[in-house]
């Protein structure tokens, strides 16, 4: 399962890329609104930070299919290879996905996915990824993990190449459940990256080892001080 960062703050992305194996960055209009200004300034900066090989997902905001197609071409013209255009999985979005698949090599991520059948239709339209919104589905009283598992089953049963990029996490437990069933990718807000690994019991165990070493070797000594 690839891990992507669901954020556009350069400092946060830089820090997470240092600590974690990161395959790319996802954004949406709400995320870009937190930065403001020209969205392409932000997106170009992210692109140069994460390298040309990493995935960058950027959402089209037009409502009509023709305009979504034009926006998708514009986004990929500016941001280059490995840019995925996020298109909402709604009727005009499906129409745009079909056109893009028939007329271009543009990579599409179907977004705002709340149901397995939305994902199925997006996959049939040629989307490379579908993004089920795990926590938002939970918040509606349904089960986001179950919906994501069902999407995985549908893709497998119908021999579809579309991958899942699970999105909208509010805790590490939701991520753990999806790691166990091996979805293609998950995109996480910075706090979920840290929630995966922050644990006071682990910190205390590591501190204890260092204390024990220093108890016989001396303060701040490490294995580098011995032959
Ligand atoms: C990704 O495609 C979504 O835009 C994003 O993960 C939504 O997350 P939220 O529910 O925390 O806004």
- How confident is the model over 191-217, as a mean pLDDT? 96
Q: Which atom of ligand 1 is nearest to the CA of 86?
A: 2
Per-residue pLDDT of 117-149, as tens digits, reads: 999 999 999 999 999 999 999 999 999 999 999
**Domain 2-196, CATH among 3.40.50.1100, 2.70.150.10, 3.30.1490.20, 3.20.20.70:** 3.20.20.70
* Residue 218 banded pLDDT, cuts 50, 70, 90: very high
Q: List residues with catalytic annotation.
A: 86
Structure letter (DSSP) for residue 54: S
Going from the Cα of 134 to the center of ligand 1, the distance in angstroms, rounded, reads: 9
Cα gap 100→67, rounded to integer Å: 12
Per-residue pLDDT of 75-118, as tens digits, reads: 999 999 999 999 999 999 999 999 999 999 999 999 999 999 99
Q: Which atom of ligand 1 is nearest to the CA of 135?
A: 10
Question: What residues does each domain of the chain span?
Answer: 2-196, 198-227
Nearest residue to 87 via CA among 115, 117, 118? 118
Going from the Cα of 186 to the center of ligand 1, the distance in angstroms, rounded, reads: 11
Q: Which atom of ligand 1 is nearest to the CA of 109?
A: 2
118 lines ligand 1 (CB under 6 A): no
Protein residue with its CA nearest to atom 12 in ligand 1: 168
15 lines ligand 1 (CB under 6 A): no
Angle at 198 between CA 195 and CA 199, to 5 degrees: 120
* Residue 14 banded pLDDT, cuts 50, 70, 90: very high
Separation in Å, CA 171 to CA 139, 193, 197: 13, 10, 12
Report the predicted TM-score, pTM, of the whole model to 2 decimal places: 0.95
Separation in Å, CA 112 to CA 51, 70, 138, 141: 27, 20, 14, 17
Cα gap 17→111, rounded to integer Å: 24
Instruction: Look at strands 2-6 and 24-26 and give their pairing.
Output: parallel
Is 201:193 a contact under the CB 8 Å cutoff? Answer: no
131 lines ligand 1 (CB under 6 A): yes
């Amino acid at each position: 399962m690839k891990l992507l960062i669901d954020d556009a703050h350069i400092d946060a992305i830089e820090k997470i890329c240092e600590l974690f194996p990161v395959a790319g960055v996802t954004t949406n209009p709400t995320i870009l609104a937190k930065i403001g200004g020209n969205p392409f300034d932000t997106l170009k900066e992210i692109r140069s930070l994460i390298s040309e090989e990493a995935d960058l997902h950027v959402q089209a905001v037009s409502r009509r299919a023709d305009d979504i197609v034009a926006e998708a071409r514009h986004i990929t013209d500016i941001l280059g290879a490995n840019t995925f255009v996020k298109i909402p999985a709604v009727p005009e979005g499906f129409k745009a996905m079909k056109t893009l698949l028939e007329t271009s090599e543009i990579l599409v991520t179907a977004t705002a996915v709340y149901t397995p059948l939305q994902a199925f239709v997006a996959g049939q339209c040629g989307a490379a990824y579908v993004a089920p919104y795990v926590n938002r589905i939970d918040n509606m009283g349904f089960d986001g993990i179950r919906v994501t598992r069902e999407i995985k089953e549908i893709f497998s049963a119908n021999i579809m190449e579309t991958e899942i990029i699970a999105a909208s996490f509010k805790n590490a437990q939701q991520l753990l459940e999806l790691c166990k069933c091996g979805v293609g990718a998950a995109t996480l807000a910075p706090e979920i990256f840290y929630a995966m690994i922050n644990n006071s019991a682990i910190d205390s165990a590591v501190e204890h080892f260092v204390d024990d070493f220093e108890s016989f070797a001396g303060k701040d000594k490490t294995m580098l001080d011995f032959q």
